[in-house]
Amino acid sequence: MGAAESFRPLVAARAGGACEYCRLLEGASGVTFHIEHVRAKASGGKTVLTNLALSCPGCNLAKGNRSTAVDLSGTERQLFNPRDYEPASLGWHLHFVLDRQTGRIVARSPVGEATIAALKMNHPQRVYARKLQVDAGLIS
Ligand SMILES: [Zn+2]
């Protein structure tokens, strides 16, 4: 068990059990979410609460060690960092909006555009799962 795992209860509770990027709920997804280093360990990120996030496997594996990606105009942007905001949900709503009709996440900023693309947040499988969770009343 890695050191980040010892933070799981706190990180998961802080996130309300949802992926801090794509909003999928761990408890309704059938898989264990990752305790992600927002700034990758390979880039000097520390295993501290201020550098950890709850991330679904899809977002975490797509992100890898990246901290930047290009927006729709091709400009390099920092990826969304939920730890830059207090509460974290404020930051999410600044950069993204959930289309409840389709289950897709829509960007509200260039950072949102870059993050949606890099983390494949609208991969069809995750859009489908998100729509089911919305329709079940699990995602508000
Ligand atoms: Zn996710």
Distance (Å) from CA 130 to ligand 1 centroid: 10
55 C-alpha to ligand 1 centroid (Å): 5
Q: How far is the CA of 103 from the centre of ligand 1 (A)?
A: 13
Q: Tell me the β-bridge partners of 26.
A: none
Q: How far is the CA of 24 from the centre of ligand 1 (A)?
A: 6
Find the 36 Cα to ligand 1 centroid distance in Å.
Answer: 11
Residues 38-73 pLDDT 10s: 999 989 999 999 999 999 999 999 999 999 999 999
Structure tokens at 120: 């494949």
Low-confidence ranges of the chain (pLDDT < 70): 1
Query: 48 by DSSP, 3-state: which?
Result: coil
Judged by DSSP in three states, 96 sits in strand
> Phi and psi at residue 47, in whole multiples of 5°?
-90, 80
Query: Cα of 74 to ligand 1 centre, how many Å?
Result: 23
Q: Write down the pLDDT at residue 2.
A: 73
| pLDDT for residue 55 | 97
pLDDT recorded at residue 72: 95
